[in-house]
Amino acid sequence: MFIPKRILFEKDALKYEIGNNIYNFFKDNKNVEIIELHSNKIKENIPNDNLYNFYREGKKTLVVGIKKGMNFQSCKPSAHYQLPLMSGCTGHCHYCYLNTNLGDKPYARINVNIDVILAQAQKYIEERLPQETIFEGSATSDPIPIEPYSNALKHTIEFFNKSDKGKFRFVTKFTDIDTLLDINHSGNTEIRFTLNTNMVIKNYEERTPSLEKRIEACIKIIKAGYPMGFIIAPVFIYDNWKEDYRNLLVELNNSLPKDILYPLTFEIISHRYTTRAKNIILQVFPNTGLPMKDEDRIYKYGQFGYGKFVYTKQQIEEIKEFFNKEIECIFKNKIIKYII
Ligand code: SF4
């Protein structure tokens, strides 16, 4: 569970139930500074003399705010829309896409006007009838670390429980999921966990739970009857990578219950980076061991017009062949969604 060093309440955020819950949860904790904003100037309340310090202080900060515009961003290909409940994350993963996308907002933010957000989701669902509409809850965040005291996901899962054509999904590396286990979900929410080898977790995923703890949480989620998926990402090629990823898959299969209601889904994403991301990462994690030598990669233009450094074609083929074969062999009831 995320215990922030400071919480910034935007104007009127305390008028909402979630805002109040968060306030009451922390109000007697002497180690948590509570700041009520009148101007909503967030950056001024977080020490920010340089990017290195701003990142670390930002990651200790929770902003409790109100979502203003109600146009949801699209979220292709994994969902139709992003559900804008939160942004940011408390983890310190060196490679994190949020370093680039939310580099000027490293703090976790929760929007407390959840009923308005869900009412808007309902409008989108109705617009697309009779087709299903899928909402992604973690497009710009990992929403789990603040869940124990916000109950935002709980509320959202209960909303989708009653929906015929609305589905919800989110992905996490964190394990504070106990409040989600005894609620009705009707299989309308899919929970995915991001997993990686112990080498990757230890070296590049600071302040995130161990593989063992993540698998323990996955077992609870499956026992609670949720559809469950795994994102194995980013996949790195290093000495013994095949052995390590095989061990991870075997350990996962051996640990999970066998009587699962839904096939397990797998999404496998090899490591890639942009020049902009690399420049930010090197400022925030100057001693990172992340493999980012441009000459070891090929440059590939993406659908959004900018390029990324990816593994060579031959290496990507090797990754695809390896994961296809191993997942096919190890898991019975599964779907491999993609390997890229
Ligand atoms: Fe980023 Fe996910 Fe790591 Fe959080 S857990 S820092 S969202 S990669």
Please identify, by atom number, the ligand 1 atom nearest to the C-alpha of residue 95. 8
User: Which pLDDT score, from 0 to 100, does residue 304 have?
Assistant: 66
Distances (CA, A) of 151 to 99, 154, 176: 26, 5, 11
Centre of ligand 1 to C-alpha 182, Å, is: 26
Centre of ligand 1 to C-alpha 90, Å, is: 7
CA distance 113 to 103: 25
CATH number given to 6-339: 3.80.30.30
From the list 280, 274, 270, 276, the residue with the least C-alpha distance to 302 is 274
> Taking the model in full, what pTM does it have?
0.95
Angle between helices 241-255 and 211-223 (to 10 degrees): 30
Tokens of 95: 């490679």
Domains of the chain, residue spans: 6-339
User: What stretches of the chain show up as alpha helix (H) in DSSP?
Assistant: 17-26, 51-58, 97-101, 114-128, 147-150, 152-161, 198-204, 211-223, 241-255, 275-284, 313-330
| 64: enclosing H helix or E strand | strand 61-65
Tell me how crowded residue 90 is: count the other CB atoms within 10 A of its CB.
Answer: 23
User: Which pLDDT score, from 0 to 100, does residue 333 have?
Assistant: 95
Tell me how crowded residue 96 is: count the other CB atoms within 10 A of its CB.
Answer: 21
User: Tell me: the pLDDT tens digits for 249-261?
Assistant: 999 999 999 999 9
- Cα–chain center distance at 136: 10
256, 260, 263, 265 alpha-carbon torsion, rounded to 10°: -30
User: Which pLDDT score, from 0 to 100, does residue 99 have?
Assistant: 83
Q: Do the beta carbons of residue 31 and residue 6 sit within 8 Å?
A: no
Please identify, by atom number, the ligand 1 atom nearest to the C-alpha of residue 174. 5
Centre of ligand 1 to C-alpha 52, Å, is: 17
Question: Residue type at 289?
Answer: G
Tokens of 311: 């593994």
> Hey, is 67 helix, strand or coil?
coil
Provide residues with CB under 6 Å of ligand 1.
89, 91, 93, 96, 98, 142, 173, 208
Centre of ligand 1 to C-alpha 76, Å, is: 20
Q: Do the beta carbons of residue 162 and residue 237 sit within 8 Å?
A: no
Sort strands 86-87 and 108-111 into parallel, antiparallel or unpaired: antiparallel
Please identify, by atom number, the ligand 1 atom nearest to the C-alpha of residue 173. 5
CA distance 316 to 271: 10
Q: Which residue spans within 67-151 are E strands per DSSP? A: 81-82, 86-87, 92-93, 108-111, 133-136
DSSP state of 337: E
User: Which pLDDT score, from 0 to 100, does residue 297 have?
Assistant: 96
- b/e per residue, 1-20, with b = 16+ CB within 10 A? ebebebbbbbeebeebebbe
User: Tell me: the pLDDT tens digits for 209-264?
Assistant: 999 999 999 999 999 999 999 999 999 999 999 999 999 999 999 999 999 999 99
User: Which pLDDT score, from 0 to 100, does residue 186 have?
Assistant: 97
User: Which pLDDT score, from 0 to 100, does residue 77 have?
Assistant: 82
Segments of the chain with pLDDT less than 70: 103, 303-305
User: Which pLDDT score, from 0 to 100, does residue 173 have?
Assistant: 98
Centre of ligand 1 to C-alpha 34, Å, is: 25
Tokens of 23: 């306030």
